[in-house]
Amino acid sequence: MPVEKADILAQRSERLRPVRQVAFACLLLGLPALSIVTAFGVAPGTVVSTQPVETVQQLVALPVFAPDEAPMGRFVTQERVLRGDTVAALFDRLGVRDARAMEFVRTDRKGSTLFRKLVPGKTLQAETGPDGELLALRYYLGSDGVLEVLKTAAGFTATDRAAGGSPRVFHKSATIRSSLFAATDSAGIPDAVAMQIARVFATDIDFHSDLRKGDHFTVVYEMLYDAGELIGPGRILAAEFVNDGRVHNAVLFSDGEGGETHFELDGSNRAKAFLRSPVEFSRVSSGFGNRFHPLLKNWRAHTGVDFAAPKGTRVLAAADGYVLGAGWRNGYGNAVEIKHGGAISTLYGHLSGFAGGIRAGTRVRQGDAIGYVGATGWATGPHLHYEFKVSGMHQDPMKVALPKASPVAPGLRAEFDAVARDASAKLDLVRTAQASRFE
């Protein structure tokens, strides 16, 4: 029965030693090694030994070594961290039999990350010699990078390096039945990508309250891999979201200033001056679809909008600006007020606390965390009270017209149109494939 490659790599050195001895003897006899390996694979019924024989169906071109050189085996094995795992247990499964390596990762400042951050589901890859000595160890920490331990002439070294991030492109489509996360789960789309979708369309869709059953979306996105190991999400290259009959689309393109921005297919910028909802959308907060209606609302009638969300949910700056004040404001409890351009200001009330560095004069960017949902002040439950004022007059943030950012630069329009046509064709292809599954 053919032996899987992974099984070959995982065999202990004592099981491999007889094979190496046979190969070495064959070289001494001057026999063509490659032919012998092939003969073991194809000669039916040949009895080679009284011991059980495992047939290896793999052609291996053996290098020719000088008389004073010895062939050095190098075995690569990979294991996932299990709940309750120890470094010793992982070394055992990886075939590492090296006390000096164990002592190094236990005592070295960087190497000890392996002891301090064993996360279930993460991957370790080991390269070992014939007798189990450790030659290299890589611990993949997702977006946090890779811990790499290497054997050198002087001993071992440990370094942190950024994850390489080789992208792979995925195409998915899904329909909303109950929530965005239920839809992305059914389509096999990771949560991190679902949250990116929400951010891309955040200036048009409040994902807490605007979603409707039957809404649907298509997305082309990247996932980043390092040495075959998934390290996290990449970029959303193109997407379309149909919400309550309205079509919203996005194409990633250079903004002409060294960055990348999502544009509509017609070249208009997806970004708007203000977010539709200043409450961070997540799997936890997504179940809070209805806006909060407090019992005590006479004191602030018609002054803003209330968003229900779990205590501790991050509150985001709706637009660029600077903090006018952050502190206690009577009925508002803990509150932050931000001054924006064009005589516009926003206020965020009932916070359980403030994000680090948020104080009067602090500059903030759209989407920066400024605090956390709470129930301080005159509140009957955890929620965010959000006010939008123009020249001191309250406006409905859900209805006020908001300007968009700059469209594609004229000099880049031809290049963008080509990218947009390609993106549109890919989105159409995904939609067609999805529709054919239900015919």
- Assess whether 239 and 323 both reside in one domain: no
- Assess whether 314 and 333 both reside in one domain: yes
Q: What DSSP element (H or E) covers 26?
A: helix 13-28
CA atoms of 104 and 137, how far apart (whole Å): 12
Instruction: Give the chain's domain count.
Output: 4
> Taking 50 as the threshold, does the pLDDT of residue 306 lie above it?
yes
Q: How large is the average pLDDT for residues 127-151?
A: 87
* pLDDT at site 13: 42
Query: Domain with 239 in it: what CATH number?
Result: 3.10.450.350
CA atoms of 230 and 224, how far apart (whole Å): 6
Average pLDDT, the chain: 78
Asked whether the beta carbons of 406 and 253 are under 8 A apart, the reply is: no
Q: Examine residue 280 and state whether it is found in any structural domain, yes or no.
A: no
* pLDDT at site 157: 94
Structure tokens at 345: 């200001």
Q: In the chain, how long is the greatest CA-to-CA distance?
A: 99
Report H helices in 68-112.
87-94, 99-107
> Using CB atoms within 10 A of its CB, is residue 151 exposed (0-12), middle (13-18) or buried (19+)?
buried
> Taking 90 as the threshold, does the pLDDT of residue 134 lie above it?
yes
Q: How large is the average pLDDT for residues 141-158?
A: 87
> Taking 80 as the threshold, does the pLDDT of residue 68 lie above it?
no
Asked whether the beta carbons of 336 and 354 are under 8 A apart, the reply is: yes
Q: Examine residue 426 and state whether it is found in any structural domain, yes or no.
A: yes
- Assess whether 153 and 86 both reside in one domain: yes
Q: How large is the average pLDDT for residues 276-296?
A: 60
> Taking 90 as the threshold, does the pLDDT of residue 184 lie above it?
yes
**What digits encode the pLDDT tens for the residues 362-374?**
999 888 889 999 9
Would you place residue 359 in the very low, low, confident or very high pLDDT band (cuts 50, 70, 90)? Answer: very high
The DSSP letter of residue 412 is: G
- Assess whether 117 and 261 both reside in one domain: no
Q: Which residue from 84, 153, 164 is spatially nearest to 120, judged by alpha carbons?
A: 84
> Taking 90 as the threshold, does the pLDDT of residue 345 lie above it?
yes
What is the number of other CB atoms lying within 10 angstroms of the CB of residue 390? 13
- Assess whether 56 and 84 both reside in one domain: no
> Taking 60 as the threshold, does the pLDDT of residue 57 lie above it?
no
CA atoms of 241 and 366, how far apart (whole Å): 22
Looking at 2-11, 106-115, 140-149, 220-229, which range is the least confident one?
A: 2-11
Asked whether the beta carbons of 197 and 219 are under 8 A apart, the reply is: yes
Q: How far is CA 327 from the centre of its chain?
A: 35
Query: Domain with 377 in it: what CATH number?
Result: 2.70.70.10
Pairing of strands 216-226, 166-175: antiparallel
- Assess whether 134 and 220 both reside in one domain: no
Q: How large is the average pLDDT for residues 329-343?
A: 93
- Assess whether 316 and 352 both reside in one domain: yes
Q: Token pair 């997702």 is at which residue?
A: 142
Q: How large is the average pLDDT for residues 2-10?
A: 43
CA atoms of 179 and 211, how far apart (whole Å): 7
Q: Is the pTM of this model over 0.75?
A: no
Q: Examine residue 84 and state whether it is found in any structural domain, yes or no.
A: yes
> Taking 50 as the threshold, does the pLDDT of residue 413 lie above it?
yes
- Assess whether 389 and 312 both reside in one domain: yes
Beta bridge partners of 178: none
* pLDDT at site 436: 59
Looking at 6-15, 170-179, 365-374, which range is the least confident one?
A: 6-15
Q: How far is CA 218 from the centre of its chain?
A: 19
- Assess whether 257 and 303 both reside in one domain: no
Compare 189 and 287 and report the one with higher pLDDT: 189
Would you place residue 421 in the very low, low, confident or very high pLDDT band (cuts 50, 70, 90)? Answer: very high
Q: How large is the average pLDDT for residues 406-429?
A: 92
Q: How far are the Cα atoms of 9, 119, 231, 257, 341 from residue 149, in angstroms, in the given order? A: 20, 18, 18, 39, 51
> Taking 70 as the threshold, does the pLDDT of residue 54 lie above it?
no
Q: In 102-163, where do the E strands start and end?
A: 123-128, 134-140, 146-152, 155-161
Compare 228 and 344 and report the one with higher pLDDT: 344
- Assess whether 64 and 94 both reside in one domain: no
Given 10, 44, 71, the domain boundary residue is 71
- Assess whether 115 and 21 both reside in one domain: no
Q: Which residue from 219, 174, 217, 183 is spatially nearest to 426, judged by alpha carbons?
A: 219
> Using CB atoms within 10 A of its CB, is residue 354 exposed (0-12), middle (13-18) or buried (19+)?
buried
- Assess whether 265 and 295 both reside in one domain: no
> Taking 50 as the threshold, does the pLDDT of residue 64 lie above it?
no
CA atoms of 295 and 293, how far apart (whole Å): 7
Q: How large is the average pLDDT for residues 204-213?
A: 89
Looking at 101-115, 216-230, 319-333, 340-354, which range is the least confident one?
A: 216-230
Percent of the chain exceeding pLDDT 90 equals 38
* pLDDT at site 258: 64
Q: Examine residue 220 and state whether it is found in any structural domain, yes or no.
A: yes
CA atoms of 350 and 136, how far apart (whole Å): 52
Q: Which residue from 251, 272, 253, 260 is spatially nearest to 204, judged by alpha carbons?
A: 272
Would you place residue 305 in the very low, low, confident or very high pLDDT band (cuts 50, 70, 90)? Answer: confident
Q: Examine residue 181 and state whether it is found in any structural domain, yes or no.
A: no
Q: How far are the Cα atoms of 39, 54, 62, 68, 134 from residue 33, in angstroms, in the given order? A: 10, 18, 7, 20, 29
Structure tokens at 425: 């064709």
* pLDDT at site 38: 35
Structural domain boundaries, residue 24: 1-71
Q: Examine residue 176 and state whether it is found in any structural domain, yes or no.
A: no
Asked whether the beta carbons of 365 and 358 are under 8 A apart, the reply is: no
Q: Examine residue 179 and state whether it is found in any structural domain, yes or no.
A: no
Would you place residue 192 in the very low, low, confident or very high pLDDT band (cuts 50, 70, 90)? Answer: confident
Q: Examine residue 278 and state whether it is found in any structural domain, yes or no.
A: no
CA atoms of 130 and 348, how far apart (whole Å): 63
Asked whether the beta carbons of 147 and 114 are under 8 A apart, the reply is: yes
Which of 215-229, 287-301, 341-355 is the most confident on average?
A: 341-355
- Using DSSP's 3-state secondary structure scheme, residue 367 falls into coil
**What digits encode the pLDDT tens for the residues 15-41?**
444 444 444 443 333 434 333 333 334
